[in-house]
Amino acid sequence: MKTICGKDGKELALVLSTIDYITGEGKQFFNNSDDVLQIGSLFFGKDSSVKPHLHKVKESSNLPMEILLVLAGEIQCGIYDDNKRFVEAIALRVGDILVQKSGGHGFSFSSDARLLEIKRGPYHGKASDKEMI
């Protein structure tokens, strides 16, 4: 796992590779327990089960967080801090996960790519969702 921080030490993003995923039975969470979105790796052996359950409603937060999973292709990702300053470039490959905790990002694609995006809602269009860098 790689943590990307701004010059002020604030965590901007986590990058998880397939080698970070848990291989034995159990679960491992990668980010802070107080983050708005949680990301973990879970492994269940054959014939195991999870008891049916509901998740309790929690206090809402306006913090933007986004998770991107690379399903196909390779992506060049630029990470920016909250002041729109470039911090670091990183290549994301199949199976890699970007957890954007704060700041921003941009992407370039040298080949076809497929991503799975998970982010906080609601979504009311680009104008209310994004501030361009």
- Report CA dihedral (35, 39, 52, 59) to the nearest 10 degrees: 10
pLDDT tens digit sequence for 76-96: 999 999 999 999 999 999 999
pLDDT tens digit sequence for 9-28: 999 999 988 888 877 788 88
Residue 6, pLDDT score: 95
Range of the domain at 68: 2-129
Identify which has the larger pLDDT, 125 or 53. 53
Residue range 90-106: mean pLDDT, rounded: 94
What is the C-alpha to C-alpha distance for residues 6 and 81, in angstroms, rounded to an integer? Answer: 6
CB 97 within 8 A of CB 71: no
What is the C-alpha to C-alpha distance for residues 103 and 109, in angstroms, rounded to an integer? Answer: 21
Bridge partners (DSSP) of residue 72 are 114
pLDDT tens digit sequence for 27-85: 888 888 888 788 888 888 899 888 998 888 877 777 778 999 999 999 999 999 999 99
Q: What is the CATH number of the domain that holds 31?
A: 2.60.120
> Please, how many CA atoms are within 13 Å of residue 52, restricted to the half-sphere of its CB?
0
Q: Which residue has the tokens 């209310």?
A: 128
pTM over 0.85: no
Residue 123, pLDDT score: 67
The tally of domains found in the chain comes to 1
Return left, alpha or beta for 20; rule: phi > 0 is left, psi -120 to 50 is alpha, else beta.
alpha
Q: 92 vs 1, 5, 48, 81, 100, CA distance in Å?
A: 12, 17, 32, 19, 13
Output the average pLDDT for the chain.
88
